[in-house]
Structure 1
Amino acid sequence: MDSIDLEVLNACAQWLRDGWRCEYITVVHTWGSSPRPVGATMAIRADGTVVGSVSGGCIEDDLIASIREHGIVQTTPKVLTYGISADEAHRFGLPCGGTIQLVVEPLANHSRISELAGLMSDRILTKRILDLETGTVELANGCAEEQLCLSNGRLLTIHGPRLRLLIIGAGQLSQFLAQIALCLEYQVTVCDPRDEHRASWTLKGVELVRAMPDDVVLQMKLDQRSAVVALTHDPKLDDLALMEALRTEAFYVGAIGSRANNAKRRERLRHFDLSGQQIAKLRGPIGLYIGSKTPYEIAISILAELTAVKNNVAVPWKLGVAAGKELDRPR
């Protein structure tokens, strides 16, 4: 399962190989409310076939109708703005006051789409610079701190994993968690020194290492774009890694387990050289309460909480896993 960005790029690359004309469309600016964020992409083939989305509504319909009526006639990129007036915003299904600006790029061999898709498949963060006047493209190593920028007739976009996720333990839950994280464009590392657990690993696109988890934490030099999830239930593997992770700027550090086990874990961590503030960063039990039972549901629960933390969204107590278990207790 690919990320949406890679799915769109792969579709464009295949269409070009098959001899189709197509357009690659990027959201470059929004004002007010907007259904899709800056950086969202879609592609339209000459027959109106669409992959991806820039608004989830009528803007796609307008772009498709234009291609079906006029064909793909432009040879260089152009900038389109929707929702300037209230009437136009209503027509295109934008929220009140919403305005969205797009770059519409007709693709050709010089667009380097296949090359970019290959780099994304290899999990290489890549910067793409599009010259709006000529349509020529430069590709270079990307930086996670860089943002989409439309300036001086050039569009800079960043493609590939900006975030890192370290999963401690290579069990079934780890595979499901890693699979979803890949779709969310995380660079995923799974660490497990136990040969019997690594032997059953089948997911591609993930770095699987056998070193001790605390050594991996130190080697990765975790920063504000990093997250750590401990899933082994084994203090010998989890605790030292969590201790090192809690000393870093990682935006999320969590461990699976019951409230009782997490309370014991926090008590063990107090014997290390950690401050109360650092220990308070530990999340556990991890995940949002959605009544999850299966490994896939638990993985969704964990990624939901991780996403909320990444987006600086406060999670109400009643949605926490621990709270859910409390609410489930028979009266």
Structure 2
Amino acid sequence: MEDLDTLVLRRAAAWQAAGEPALLVTVARTWGSSPRPPGSLMAINGQGETVGSVSGGCIEDDLILRIREEGIEAVCAQGLPAVLRYGISADQAHRFGLPCGGTVELVLEPLQAHSRVAELLAACAARQGTERHLDLRSGVVTLLPGGTDGVPRCEGDVLVNHFGPRARLVLIGAGDLSRFMSEMALSLGFEIVVCDPRPEQRAGWSLPGVQLSHEMPDDLIQRLRPDARTAVVALTHDPKLDDLALIDALQSPAFYVGAIGSRRNAQQRRERLQEHFDLTPAQMARLRSPAGLYIGSKTPAEIALSIMAEVVACKNGIALPPQVQVAEAKGAEESLLGLEPAMADAWVCGR
């Protein structure tokens, strides 16, 4: 499953290629509380069919009604972008289901040849961060190299929005845990690569939408060259596979690098990496092991949930307190119970 922005752009490009009138709707700015943040996208065609969202549904309903009754040509006069605001008055806030005082500014852009949606999709597929500049006076679009993320901004009569590659998840090891993580990540719009050079582990492992690689993990990481939209998680418990992938991942801009295992195994892994490989203290500090948030997980599905929660938090730039991470939480529980570390790990896992 693709992320929502890609789905919106792909559907918009399909409508445009079929010669069907359509609009690309962008949340440009918000004031106060709003259901969807700036940068949220929706596409709508002349029949009122939509993909994506700019609110909880009420604003979409109003736009659909306008287009069905008036037509895209009337909503966007002379084929030029239009700016609409919802929620300015208390009556509008109530009518459109906006929180009290919330205001949403939308840019409605008729799709034309100079909209360059297909080019933008190609840039995202090539994992290129792109700034899309929309001239509100002419509707002309300029695509420039840019960051992978950012809040839209208005520079005079130009709306600047950021588009980057899909978040990518690289899993080392094909097993039950990687399957559950892949299923969750697919629903979250991640691009997923599962790597395992062991034929007995790969046998029977398949999941639609997931790339399965038989390369050595370090070769895969070097080939993929993880960027700031990539997470790498080692799941095999085999140092010959996990360590090699982690070494290269820790030296990359990947936003998340993690490995499963007990606290004792995690400490041994850190000692191996520091002793045998030229990693800086800052690079070592990026390793999240044991990976995941402490939720008392016992089954592979629960462990997958705990790791994916941490991955998503890191992707979204959330700095989580140490108390919610596995090692810190187990240490606190250990102190509470007066157990040795190995006994505490066994007690928590058994519980």
> Given the two structures, how large is their TM-score scaled by the length of structure 1?
0.78
Single out whichever of 305-314 and 192-201 deviates more from structure 2.
192-201
Structure 1 position 254, deviation (Å): 0.9
Cα separation, 2, equivalents of 1:123 and 1:184: 18
Determine if contact 1:194/1:210 at 8 Å carries over to the other structure.
Answer: no
Determine if contact 2:193/2:212 at 8 Å carries over to the other structure.
Answer: yes
Structure 1 position 91, deviation (Å): 3.2
Structure 1 position 180, deviation (Å): 5.0
Cα separation, 2, equivalents of 1:158 and 1:184: 19
**Equivalent position amino acid for 2:235 in 1:** L
Determine if contact 1:175/1:203 at 8 Å carries over to the other structure.
Answer: no
Q: Which residue of 2 aligns with 1:39?
A: 39
Structure 1 position 42, deviation (Å): 0.9
Query: Structure 1, residues 284-326: CA drift from partner, whole Å, max 9, x if none?
Result: 3322355666656544432211121233434466754565886
Q: Residues 128 and 316 of structure 1: is their aligned pair in 2 closer, same or farther, counting only changes over 3 Å?
A: closer
Structure 1 position 10, deviation (Å): 2.4
Cα separation, 1, equivalents of 2:289 and 2:14: 44
Cα separation, 2, equivalents of 1:66 and 1:171: 51
Q: Residues 88 and 319 of structure 1: is their aligned pair in 2 closer, same or farther, counting only changes over 3 Å?
A: same
Cα separation, 2, equivalents of 1:129 and 1:321: 43
Count, aligned residues: 329
Which of 207, 215, 219 does residue 210 from structure 1 map onto? 215
Cα separation, 1, equivalents of 2:138 and 2:283: 52
Q: Residues 209 and 34 of structure 1: is their aligned pair in 2 closer, same or farther, counting only changes over 3 Å?
A: farther
1:287 aligns with 2:292: yes
**Equivalent position amino acid for 2:27 in 1:** V
Q: Residues 248 and 265 of structure 1: is their aligned pair in 2 closer, same or farther, counting only changes over 3 Å?
A: same
**Equivalent position amino acid for 1:53 in 2:** S
**Equivalent position amino acid for 1:169 in 2:** G
Give matches, 1:3-152, under 5 Å: 3-72=3-72, 73=74, 74=76, 75-121=79-125, 123-144=127-148, 148-152=152-156
Structure 1 position 221, deviation (Å): 6.2
Q: Residues 181 and 161 of structure 1: is their aligned pair in 2 closer, same or farther, counting only changes over 3 Å?
A: farther
Cα separation, 2, equivalents of 1:182 and 1:329: 30
1:313 aligns with 2:287: no
Determine if contact 2:293/2:326 at 8 Å carries over to the other structure.
Answer: yes
1:257 aligns with 2:258: no
More helix, by proportion: 2
Cα separation, 2, equivalents of 1:30 and 1:261: 47
Identical columns (%):
53
Structure 1 position 131, deviation (Å): 2.3
Unaligned runs of 5+ in 2: 331-344
Determine if contact 2:234/2:259 at 8 Å carries over to the other structure.
Answer: yes
Cα separation, 2, equivalents of 1:115 and 1:196: 41
Determine if contact 2:2/2:191 at 8 Å carries over to the other structure.
Answer: no
> Given the two structures, how large is their TM-score scaled by the length of structure 2?
0.74
SS at 1:134's partner residue?
Answer: coil
SS at 1:33's partner residue?
Answer: coil
**What's the RMSD between the two structures over aligned residues?**
3.8
Unaligned runs of 5+ in 1: none
Q: Which residue of 1 aligns with 2:306?
A: 301
Query: Structure 1, residues 34-88: CA drift from partner, whole Å, max 9, x if none?
Result: 2212211112222322211111232222222222332222221111222234443
Cα separation, 1, equivalents of 2:210 and 2:217: 21
